[in-house]
Amino acid sequence: MTQTVAVLGTGKIGEALLSGMIRAGWHAADLLVTTRRTERADELQGRYGVDSVSNAEAAKRADTLILAVKPQDMGKLLDELAPHLTADRLVISAAAGITTSFIEERLAPGTPVVRVMPNTPVLVDEGMSVISAGSHATGEHIVHAEEIFGGVGKTLRVPESQQDAATALSGSGPAYFYFLVEAMTDAGILLGLPRAQAHDLIVQAAIGAAVMLRDSGEHPVKLREAVTSPAGTTISAIRELENHGVRAALIAALEAARDRSRELASGNG
């Protein structure tokens, strides 16, 4: 049976997922989007050939609804959906912090809800989507979520109690790497390299390091040791990183992201 999937609140992550689903072979005719602004609806219809409908219409027509609004907009969206949504539909939320119980409490009793934390590399089919079942979601619902998000990268099942941590590591994770690239490019400028060259050198170092981490099966310490020659350049840099507390800063940063995800659970921001 053909399934209709609607993305509700098609902003950055919603569009990234939509584009990935189309690349993965979903037909535009089986996809719906909802937006708050008509210009955005026109843009998405023009770009992907998908129908843009109201949230109420999506609730009536879609078998699976992917909620991709900001956590602060989730309460309002659920109020709009509730009168039109029956408990035979699957609701997938991609919102940081929002718990499955927050959603279940606002929808028809028994509605299956799955919480997913994707990240923006779904745009290049290298996403990571961390998946948890709500209290009425079955194994089949989880498999369906894995089919959707697995088309644009990897998936991992975790208990919902680990979702805030996963959000800190994986949902926000790409931003930390972009931040590092930006800072290291600035360092290249300081050392006298043209910006474009500094950027290319750092990006290729990042790609090479990432592929080695993924494919070699080696522990990151071992990979770093292989770069760190006695009395060489790398150890001079590592000493500065340790002197400036970069390891401690990363631990504190991810803890702050985890805590912020917990705060967002109220839906009030």
Ligand X SMILES: NC(=O)C1=CN([C@@H]2O[C@H](COP(=O)(O)OP(=O)(O)OC[C@H]3O[C@@H](n4cnc5c(N)ncnc54)[C@H](OP(=O)(O)O)[C@@H]3O)[C@@H](O)[C@H]2O)C=CC1
Answer yes or no whether residue 172 interacts with ligand A1CAB by CB under 6 A.
Answer: yes
Q: Dihedral angle at the C-alpha atoms of 240, 251, 167, 213, nearest 10 degrees?
A: 50
| CB of residue 114 to ligand X, shortest distance in Å | 14
Terminus-to-terminus CA distance in the chain, angstroms?
39
- Binding residue (CB under 6 A) for ligand A1CAB from 14, 134, 171, 267: 171
Nearer to ligand X, 47 or 239 (CB): 47
Buried b / exposed e over 22-34, threshold 16 CB at 10 Å, is: beeebeeeebbbb
Strand bridging mode 51-52 / 90-93: unpaired
Residues 29-48 that bind ligand X (CB under 6 A): 34-37, 40
- Binding residue (CB under 6 A) for ligand X from 17, 94, 103, 148: 94
Helices (H), 117-172: 139-150, 163-166
Nearer to ligand A1CAB, 153 or 171 (CB): 171
Answer yes or no whether residue 195 interacts with ligand X by CB under 6 A.
Answer: no
Q: What distance in Å separates the CA atoms of residue 240 and residue 233, rounded to the nearest whole number?
A: 11
Answer yes or no whether residue 96 interacts with ligand A1CAB by CB under 6 A.
Answer: yes
| CB of residue 47 to ligand X, shortest distance in Å | 14
Specify whether the CB–CB gap between 208 and 216 falls below 8 A: no
- Kindly list the residues in this chain that would bind ligand A1CAB in the complex (CB under 6 A): 96, 167, 171-172
- Kindly list the residues in this chain that would bind ligand X in the complex (CB under 6 A): 8-9, 11-14, 34-37, 40, 55, 68-71, 73, 76-77, 94-96, 117-120, 171
